Amino acid sequence: MNFYSLIPIIITIISFVVMKKKCQGFIKNWISGSRPLISIHYLFPTIFGILLGNYIFQKPVNYLDGFLLICSVFFSFQTSVIVNDINDIKTDKIALKKSLLNSNYFGLKVYQNLGGYFFILSLLFALVIEYRILLIVLLGHILHFTYSSKPFRLKRFFPVSILMLALGALLSAISGYALFESSKPFLSFPIKPALFIVIPLFLALNFRDLADYRGDEKTDVTTLFTLFGLGKGRLINAFLVLLGYLSVPLILKFPPLFFAVVPLGILSFYFCLKKPFKEKYIFYIYFILIAILLIIFKLNPEIYLGPVF
């Protein structure tokens, strides 16, 4: 351990203490608006990438570097949340969607400054690990910026928007893998784990757009729901989520996993159609699957590295 590794940790702690004292209720309001469930989702691929690199290269895990990377990915996503909220002010108002920006807790300027602060933190945490990790995290920022912001705002185009979210998760996994293979992480990252991350998420992540339906419809953002209508869109989304679950054992070529994914997929199908729609239940079921997949990795990691076809 060196002193430079502690610098971003010290800066983060001091900054949050100062903001808590200056802004009453800052921590509580920020946590509630930080998309905690989807934030946790982005940490899972990072951890998976670390476990994958540890197994493939048979090198010990540097827990400090792992912690720094998780912090970097976390603050990178928090930056993307703020960038998305700023660009979705009109959409969120129409959809009556709560965010830190429309809750009257943060003014636009303060919220922009908070986004800049999280951006710098994410790069600083990555930089003290290694400059190649910094480049991967920076690429993640570029991906999320082009997703949310003009003149690109690629979230307007279905299914490109969903593919970008799935690729963001893959990028998180590659960042964890790069702790062990920093020279060519994109080229050497195994195909099967890449497909295992991208395909199920590409199929299942449409549910994230359901809460924004009214706003997206009025602001020319194309999603599954604006394309097919709310009724048909909800049904198609439910089938796609179920298909996402069923794709996992097919990609891994591990049929016993069907005993887990079938009931979990059916539960998700049910909650996708249930009114009012509660996004949190989709995440809770997803987290159960992640726990099962981590147990399988611990017992037999070769399942994740076998032939693709």
Q: pTM for the full model?
A: 0.92
Amino acid type, 273: L
Confidence category of residue 163, pLDDT binned at 50, 70, 90: very high
Confidence category of residue 201, pLDDT binned at 50, 70, 90: very high
Q: What is the pLDDT of residue 106?
A: 67
Please provide the average confidence, as pLDDT, over all residues in the chain.
89
pLDDT tens digits for range 212-252: 888 888 888 899 999 999 999 999 999 999 999 999 999 99
Amino acid type, 272: C
Q: What is the mean predicted confidence (pLDDT) over 12-21?
A: 82
Residue 1 has pLDDT above 60, yes or no: no
Q: What is the pLDDT of residue 73?
A: 95
Pick from 134, 188, 144: which is nearest to 167 by CA? 144
Q: Which CATH architecture has domain 1-18+27-189?
A: Orthogonal Bundle (1.10)
- Delimit the domains of the chain by residue range: 1-18+27-189, 190-309
pLDDT tens digits for range 85-144: 888 877 777 766 776 666 666 677 877 888 899 999 999 999 999 999 999 999 999 999
Secondary structure of the chain as H, E, C letters: CCHHHHHHHHHHHHHHHHHHHHCCCHHHHHHHHCCHHHHHHHHHHHHHHHHHHHHHHCCCCCHHHHHHHHHHHHHHHHHHHHHHHHHCHHHHHHHCCCCCCCCCCCCHHHHHHHHHHHHHHHHHHHHCCCHHHHHHHHHHHHHHHHHHCCCCCHHHCCCHHHHHHHHHHHHHHHHHHCCCCCCCHHHHCCHHHHHHHHHHHHHHHHHHHHHHHHHHHHCCCCCHHHHHCHHHHHHHHHHHHHHHHHHHHHHHCCHHHHHHHHHHHHHHHHHHHCCCCCHHHHHHHHHHHHHHHHHHHHHCHHHHCCCCC
pLDDT tens digits for range 31-44: 766 778 888 888 99
